[in-house]
Amino acid sequence: MYIEQAYKGLSETWRYVLGFFLVFIAWQFVGGIPLMAALILKSNSLADLTGDLGQMAEILGTNTFLFFMLLTFVIGLVCLFVFVKFVHKQAILYLTTSRNRVDWKRVLFSFFLWAIISIAFILIDIYFTPENYEFNFNLGPFLILAVIAVLMIPIQTSMEEYFMRGYMMQGIGIMAGNRWVPLFITSTLFGLMHIFNPEIGKLGYGVLVFYIGTGFFLGILTLMDEGLELALGFHAANNLTAALLVTADWTAFTTDSIYRDISEPTLGWDIFIPVLVVYPILLFIFSKKYGWTNWKERLTGKVLSKESFAEVNVNDVQL
């Protein structure tokens, strides 16, 4: 009953509509003020402020730009938590999970499982196509990157998970009265949220298949496991390995990583491998480990009304 955890706070529709817009504005605009201020101080002309991410990183330096970019997510997450606590009167625990406490073992299992798989995929590709990679390791900048990444990337990914798979999943779910509508909407919005990433300009809109597919994968994790823990671990592992191990000039995370991908990017059939092969295998692994059953009901079934949820809780207490 993860979606129904919204009933443990104030769950009127207007609160979610207001929260969506206020948190989004705080995240995307207020959170960007420090970045814009830093660019103004470092740039030679106002024209520099309208450049792409690569130009901004060149102005500030790669690590400094990464810090200010990730700071927008820190500000967004703080604003989301404050709004949930004081406007919805909902404990952050109930935004996180339907369990009595956050299951950190789930977070760590998902994190290390995907980190190991991601690193293996990258190292295999480097081994078989070394001409596509350039050794980029520089101890000083890498150590600074590692500190920034380890401290802030989990916050960045948590903001996306709490906002999309948490706040919006619960809000849309109780409005729609079912589970498939919030799964579809949040997964699609998650993919479209990446539409301004430089990868889109380089590879085209076809890469949205990967982003939307990832959104569905994370949404399924959340609904089947009745909490955000697995999605939080997976997302953090994915972005950390991307930032620390290999980067490219045409990606959102252009960092002082160990390797740099210097190949000419192309959009091919391999974009479907994670969505159609890897993610289903991961879902199978998680389902076996955590004993998931009743997939249809958990992914498409009805959401209890507030009154029905209250009756269930009363019965649980009596039992």
The confidence band for 172, taking pLDDT boundaries of 50, 70 and 90, is very high
The confidence band for 46, taking pLDDT boundaries of 50, 70 and 90, is low
Instruction: Examine residue 124 and state whether it is found in any structural domain, yes or no.
Output: yes
pLDDT at 311 over 80: no
Record the tokens describing residue 278, joined without a space: 């890897």
Identify the weakest region by mean pLDDT among 47-51, 207-211, 291-295. Answer: 47-51
What pLDDT does 319 receive?
Answer: 43
pLDDT at 306 over 50: yes
- d(CA 68, CA 34) in angstroms, rounded, equals 7
Task: Identify residue 40 by its one-letter amino acid code.
Answer: I
Instruction: Examine residue 58 and state whether it is found in any structural domain, yes or no.
Output: yes
- d(CA 62, CA 229) in angstroms, rounded, equals 31
Record the tokens describing residue 12, joined without a space: 């009127």
Q: Supply the pTM of this predicted model.
A: 0.92
pLDDT at 34 over 70: yes
Instruction: Examine residue 142 and state whether it is found in any structural domain, yes or no.
Output: yes
What pLDDT does 314 receive?
Answer: 54
Higher pLDDT, 289 or 45: 289
Instruction: Examine residue 318 and state whether it is found in any structural domain, yes or no.
Output: no
- The answer to whether the beta carbons of residues 88 and 44 sit under 8 Å apart is no
What pLDDT does 317 receive?
Answer: 45
**Measuring CA to CA, which residue among 154, 117, 136, 130 is closest to residue 232?**
154
The confidence band for 227, taking pLDDT boundaries of 50, 70 and 90, is very high
Instruction: Examine residue 243 and state whether it is found in any structural domain, yes or no.
Output: yes
What pLDDT does 143 receive?
Answer: 96
Q: How far apart are the first and last CA of the chain?
A: 18
- d(CA 308, CA 304) in angstroms, rounded, equals 6
Residues pairing with 260 in the sheet: 134, 247
What residues make up the domain containing 110?
3-311
Instruction: Examine residue 317 and state whether it is found in any structural domain, yes or no.
Output: no
Q: What is the Cα gyration radius of the chain?
A: 20
Unique residue bearing structure tokens 């997964």: 187
pLDDT at 126 over 90: yes
Instruction: Examine residue 316 and state whether it is found in any structural domain, yes or no.
Output: no
What pLDDT does 248 receive?
Answer: 82
Mean of per-residue pLDDT scores for the chain: 90
> Could you report the per-residue pLDDT of 250-266, keeping only the tens digit for each?
777 678 899 998 887 77
Record the tokens describing residue 118, joined without a space: 């991601």
- d(CA 318, CA 238) in angstroms, rounded, equals 43
The confidence band for 54, taking pLDDT boundaries of 50, 70 and 90, is low
Burial of 43 (0-12, 13-18, 19+ CB in 10 A): middle
What pLDDT does 79 receive?
Answer: 97
Instruction: Examine residue 61 and state whether it is found in any structural domain, yes or no.
Output: yes
Question: Alpha carbon of 312 to those of 8, 12, 297, 306, 317: distances in Å?
Answer: 13, 20, 17, 10, 9
Identify the weakest region by mean pLDDT among 22-36, 45-59, 185-199, 276-290. Answer: 45-59
pLDDT at 292 over 80: yes
What pLDDT does 318 receive?
Answer: 42
The confidence band for 51, taking pLDDT boundaries of 50, 70 and 90, is low
What pLDDT does 197 receive?
Answer: 78
- The answer to whether the beta carbons of residues 64 and 38 sit under 8 Å apart is yes
- d(CA 231, CA 225) in angstroms, rounded, equals 10
The count of domains in the chain is: 1
> Could you report the per-residue pLDDT of 192-206, keeping only the tens digit for each?
988 877 777 777 888
Give percent of the chain above pLDDT 70: 94
